[in-house]
């Protein structure tokens, strides 16, 4: 089965809720990373973020079998979050652990 890196970009306040929703479905480790996004798409931005043209977001990532993608996206959709979430799936060609 092919693996994908699923990345959910969300408001930092929603990161823990989203991570817990993902942990309820997948056994894979969930990584959370704070991000600062510079851009011109302010549809998800608060007033202060629009003024500064900088969005404070978190990236919530995990590597899973591609067959799990739909159920994980659905789990995030059903999670009790406050703000919109953007997501993407990237094929994983190789991975490992260096000890």
Q: What number of residues does the chain have? A: 99
The tens digit of pLDDT for each residue in 15-70 reads 999 999 999 999 999 999 999 887 666 666 666 666 566 778 899 999 999 999 99
- Structure tokens of 65? 């079998």
**Predicted pLDDT at 48:** 63
| Fold type of domain 3-92 | Alpha-Beta Plaits (3.30.70)
Global model pTM greater than 0.85: yes
In contact, 35 and 9? CB cutoff 8 Å: yes
Among 3-7, 18-22, 93-97, name the one with the lowest average pLDDT.
93-97
Residue ranges per domain, the chain? Answer: 3-92
**Predicted pLDDT at 81:** 94
**Predicted pLDDT at 41:** 67
């Amino acid at each position: 089965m092919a693996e994908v890196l699923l990345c959910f970009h969300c408001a930092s306040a929603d990161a823990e809720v989203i991570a817990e929703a993902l942990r309820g479905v997948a056994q894979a480790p969930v990584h959370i990373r704070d991000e600062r996004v510079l851009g011109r798409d302010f549809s998800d931005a608060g007033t202060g973020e629009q003024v500064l043209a900088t969005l404070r977001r978190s990236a919530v990532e995990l590597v899973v079998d591609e067959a799990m993608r739909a159920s994980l996206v659905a789990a995030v959709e059903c999670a009790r979050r406050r703000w919109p979430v953007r997501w993407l799936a990237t094929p994983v060609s190789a991975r490992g652990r260096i000890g």
